[in-house]
Amino acid sequence: MNSSTSTGNGHSPHPSTFFPEFKQCKTKRDLIQIHAKLIKTGRIRDPLASAELIRFCALSDPPHRDLQYALHVFQQMNPPNCFSWNTIIRAFCDSDHPLQSFILFSQMIVKPNKFTFPSVLKACAKAGSLQEGKQTHGVLLKHGLENDGFVLSNLVRMYVMCGAMNDALVLFESNKTSEVVLWNVMMDGYIRLGQLGNARNLFDKMPQPSVVSWNSMISGYAQNGFFVEALELFREMQMDASMPNYITLISALPAVSRLGALEIGKWVHFFAVKNGIKVDPVLGSALIDMYSKCGSIDEALQLFNSLSQRNVITWNSIINGLAIHGRANEALYHFKKMQESGIEPNDVTYISVLTACSHAGLVDKGLSVFNEMVQTEGLAPRIEHYGCMVDLLGRAGRLQEAEELILKMSNEPDDVVLKALLGACKKHGNIEIGERVGKRLLESDPEDGGPYVALSNMYASLANWDRVMETRLMMKQNEVKKDPGCSWIEVDGAIHEFVVADESHTKSKDIYMMLEEMKEKLKLVGYKPDTTQVFLRMDNPDKESALQLHSEKIAIAFGLISTTRETTIKVVKNLRTCDDCHSTIKLISRIYGRRIVVRDRKRFHHFENGSCSCMDYCVCRFCSLFHFSRQRRVSICSFFKTQKPEMEASSPLFTPSFFPPFHAKDHN
């Protein structure tokens, strides 16, 4: 079965029938010798010979590629023919100096043909030069080439890439074509502008969507935070004539990871194996990331070990996976192995290694890794590295050092760094630094609810109710938008999502009976709710019920009633879990004899027999590891909100038959 697994971006020209010596050409020396022989025999005057030489130097994969040499041969031709012009223009358009193509084009003395313009336009698109692009547009009109499909799609793409979507649209609409590439270019334009609705409109209206159309739409959704839409489209694709390929899987996997939809992820993996799609380092990394972010770190490890080729991203994926599962020693072990295998760690590697240290409380190790990165590797720390370090120091109670680090860093501290410190201040009851940091956060974004909640919880844990009220009042005055917490759980390939006090699920009645039962059993083992975690100051009974109804508890109740005892309950939450939920879930794992895995914003918690893998070291609401930018967070939540009314009351987001095995055409 055919699967496009090509990852290279270069080209290998077809071996020439006329110049078989190129087949043996391996080194620069060989090349010079061939060139010399051509000169000696006088064949260099044959335009075909020169053209072939240029083609070889200009378009081969590195290390054969040598643009300067190509240009040298080109300039010796007199005059260069159109073919050589096209070759050299194309070569520069693939280079780091794409506008060289335009300059060469403007010096072209022979008449350009339909093969000239795609490269020139591509160069303008790459450089984002609308002016040069428009000039090229003018010239191609003069030559009457505007109806060539390739020229047109490159022309439209040039406008798209230069941000002139309106010009692109005019061209697109004036050319009634069913050429699928042109539709794809327009779709991609809307996706780049974040206008997913417009893109989807085109996709739905396309006469004949190709596999690239599907891929673009799926990756467009996934990269803009519409994970559910991405996967729903991926599912629709199974019913379509287009066969998913390598790119499809790579586009869909990040959405699977974000949602933590393990069954779908396994299906993707199985699909690749079944259809002979090669699990190269790229797809391998995406799968490792998927397994670890879906809670199956051991499967991630297994896959990692089975890969024959690994690149820096593959290593980063497994180290990060181990880090977020709290398996710091294994993360550090793989970090060492990576260096031994000759793969240079990059800045992303260090984020994962520092994360591992911070989650395991390995303060000194973290400090030495940070120093190694800066001093030995000469990498400039990014804000994310500082975030890890502040977290690391802060959690260990070294608040002063953490604050000094923030003052010392060259980057402006972002909210993640400051929130890490604020969380640590709350944990260690340091009002002095906490207020200073909190104030700074509130000044920079008074509408962000996080700092208010942290401050308020800090005051509440010290029973300073006046300050709690003050903070609450400020929050009200500033019309703070609170991020709604939601949790979801995958059962039989269907995703069920819950918000706080959710009653919309079809099995709501059973869920609430289960919650009652849980409450009773918890009482029997002497559990008392930790009411300091509730932001609003309420009477105690209310507080208790508010805690009872946190979305992760509802999801777990649903998991308990809808899966068998052997099944690990895997819940994903968009925020961090509160201390109360954390201790409740520990008890539940013991009472019901269940393994429960919760992925929160930052890491995994493996609950078993009354304890959690995080050793209670990391329960803080404000740090994020899943790199949900604020917009993404909003788009997930707004998606769930907007989708809800349309769906049959609380039907799962995917039907249980979400991923049927494979349809007929997939079977051999």
User: In the stretch 450-469, what mask flags binding to DNA with x, by CB under 7 A?
Assistant: --------------------
The reply to whether 471 sits near DNA by the rule CB under 7 A is no
Among residues 396, 463, 444, 447, which one has the least CA distance to residue 423? 396
Least distance in angstroms from the C-beta of 171 to DNA: 12
Residue closer to DNA (CB basis): 162 or 396: 162
Write the CA distances from 85 to 39, 74, 110, 217, 254, integer angstroms. 21, 8, 9, 36, 42
Whose Cβ is closer to DNA: residue 626's or residue 658's?
A: 626
Residues in 106-125 that interact with DNA by CB under 7 A:
113-115, 117-119, 122
Q: Is residue 184 near DNA by the rule CB under 7 A?
A: yes
- Nearest residue (CB) to DNA, 348 versus 549: 348
Write the DSSP symbol of residue 626. Answer: S
Indicate which single residue of 90, 137, 550, 570 sits in contact with DNA (rule: CB under 7 A).
Answer: 90
Using the 8-state DSSP alphabet, how is residue 659 labeled? S
In the bound state with DNA, the residue whose beta carbon lies nearer, of 19 and 69, is 19
* Two structure tokens written together for 303: 């896959």
Q: What is the CA radius of gyration of the chain?
A: 29
Beta strands in 508-588 (DSSP E): 569-573
CB nearer to DNA: give 252 or 620.
Answer: 252
Q: What 8-state DSSP symbol labels residue 492?
A: T
Cβ atoms of 192 and 225 closer than 8 Å: no
- How far apart CA 577 and CA 619 sit, in angstroms, is 7
For DNA, the closer of residues 317 and 471 by Cβ is: 317
Strands 596-599 and 569-573: parallel
Work out how close the CB of 598 gets to DNA at its nearest, in angstroms, rounded to a whole number: 19
Identified binder of DNA from the candidate list 60, 129, 213, 584, rule CB under 7 A: 213
CB atoms within 10 A of CB 647: 12
50 touches DNA by CB under 7 A = no
Contacts to DNA from residues 219-248, by CB under 7 A = 219, 223, 245-248
Residues 310-329 that bind DNA (CB under 7 A): 311-313, 316-317, 320
Choosing from 285, 457, 533, 584, the residue that interacts with DNA (CB under 7 A) is: 285
In the complex, the smallest distance separating the C-beta of residue 78 from DNA, rounded to whole angstroms, is 16
Between strands 611-612 and 604-608, the pairing is: antiparallel
Q: Which is nearer to DNA, 251 or 548 (CB)?
A: 251
CA distance 336 to 357: 14
Residues in the chain, total: 668
Strand partners, 448: 481
Q: Which of residues 336-365 bind DNA (CB under 7 A)?
A: 346, 348-349
The residues in 248-277 that bind DNA, with binding defined as CB under 7 A, are 248, 250-251, 253-254, 257
Q: Shortest approach of DNA to residue 185 CB, angstroms?
A: 5
Please state the φ and ψ torsions of residue 236, each to the nearest 5 degrees: -60, -35
DSSP string for residues in 52-106: HHHHHHHHSPTTT--HHHHHHHHHHSSSPPHHHHHHHHHHHHTSS-THHHHHHHH
Kindly tell me which of 218 and 557 has the beta carbon lying closer to DNA.
Answer: 218
Residues 2-31 that bind DNA (CB under 7 A): 4, 6-7, 9, 11, 13-14, 18
CB of 560 to DNA, least distance (A): 31
Spatial distance between the Cα atoms of 433 and 403, rounded to a whole number of angstroms: 8
State the Cα–Cα distance between residues 604 and 295, nearest whole angstrom.
Answer: 7
Q: Give yes or no for a contact between 161 and 128, defined as CB atoms under 8 angstroms apart.
A: yes
52 binds DNA (CB under 7 A): yes
Q: What is the DSSP string of 298-364?
A: HHHHHHHHH-S---HHHHHHHHHHHHHTT-HHHHHHHHHHHHHTTPPP-HHHHHHHHHHHHHHT-HH
For the CB of residue 296, give the shortest distance to DNA in the complex, in Å: 15
Q: How many residues bind DNA (CB under 7 A)?
A: 71
Only segment of 67-75, 182-190, 263-271, 355-363 that touches DNA (CB under 7 A) = 182-190
> Given the complex with DNA, which of 14 and 29 has the nearer CB atom?
14
Q: Residue 626, Cβ neighbours under 10 Å: how many? A: 18
**Closest CB to DNA among residues 49, 425:** 49
Find the part of the chain contacting DNA (CB under 7 A) among 83-91, 230-238, 377-385, 431-439.
83-91
Q: How far is the CB of 313 from DNA (least distance, A)?
A: 4
Q: Which residues within the stretch 121-180 sit at the binding site for DNA (CB under 7 A)?
A: 122, 148-154, 157, 179-180
